Amino acid sequence: MRESFVARLIKFYLPLMAFMFGLLFPFYWMFNTAFKSDAELYDLNLNPFIIHQPTLHNVKMLFRETLFLQWMANTFFVAILATLISLGASLLAAYAIQRLRFRTSGGLGISIFFSYLVPPTILFIPLATIIFDLKLWDSLWSLVLVYPTFLIPFCTWLLMGYFKSIPKEMEECAMIDGATRLRVFWQIVMPLALPGILSAAIFAFTLSWNEFLYALAFISTTTQKTVPVGLITELVRGDVYHWGPLMTGALLASVPVALVYSFFVEHYVAGMTGALKE
């Protein structure tokens, strides 16, 4: 029994503890920095892992001297709309490729996923030209239009794998009884594919929430910025880094994504498991 416990400790618990430490330490460091004064933050004689004199100065500075709440609202607006658009297009594309079998369906599915691997910097110039022609420069709608270009390919690939795990016989029986393809998709496939749909939605929302490059390039007005861009551009002034407000903003901005994962983590794992069957 003693050897069994030692073996489990070495093979399972210690690696798990190391993984959890690496995963949670950045959040602790953000929390630690958010409630420190500048004097304590730069005092090398103090233990950097402990808050000696907690302060709310950084929180007050973040909300009083920046438009953090506006940035949060902008980020929610862009992330939710981009997720809905990407999810709608991905559902139809994945179902069509997986169920309406045609000569190039297999190659098309692979090519869609490969398009996700294209570096965003390569697409920047053509996308910028389109945004400028549509007169959407410096508008949140430019991000809503651009983000699906890299969200749809991955979501389509993920949903293709999940649709493949759903038996065709259920759909065929419903269609024999007189149901249309659209009704089968809405009333049978959609409920069964809910874990995969939630997984794709979480992925799309997270990527939209954290995206930095396009938001930095297409948005210049302070009131239109998203959280990742607003924190960097407004709290890094010249060579002065306001670490306290920066970490406070980063900590608060990570809360929505953490809540999404905590509520839907089981569906996310189930959706990814189904996708790997592809």
Residue in 52, 108, 62, 75 with CA at minimum distance from that of residue 251: 62
Instruction: Give the C-alpha separation, 58 to 32, whole Å.
Output: 12
Residue with more model confidence, 258 or 92 = 92
pLDDT tens digit sequence for 99-139: 776 676 667 767 777 777 778 778 888 888 999 899 998 89
Residue in 66, 42, 60 with CA at minimum distance from that of residue 237: 66
The second-level CATH assignment, the architecture, of 57-276 is Orthogonal Bundle (1.10)
pTM over 0.85: no
Reply yes or no on whether the pLDDT at 228 is more than 50: yes
The pLDDT-based confidence of 39 (bands split at 50, 70, 90) is confident
Are 83 and 208 within 8 A, CB to CB? yes
DSSP 49: T
Task: Tell which phi-psi region holds residue 27, choosing left (phi > 0), alpha (psi between -120 and 50) or beta.
Answer: alpha
pLDDT tens digit sequence for 144-172: 999 998 899 888 888 888 888 788 888 88
236 forms bridges with which residues in the sheet? Answer: 241
Reply yes or no on whether the pLDDT at 143 is more than 90: yes
What would the mean pLDDT of 186-207 be, rounded to a whole number?
86
pLDDT computed for residue 141 by the predictor: 94
**Identity of the residue numbered 147:** Y
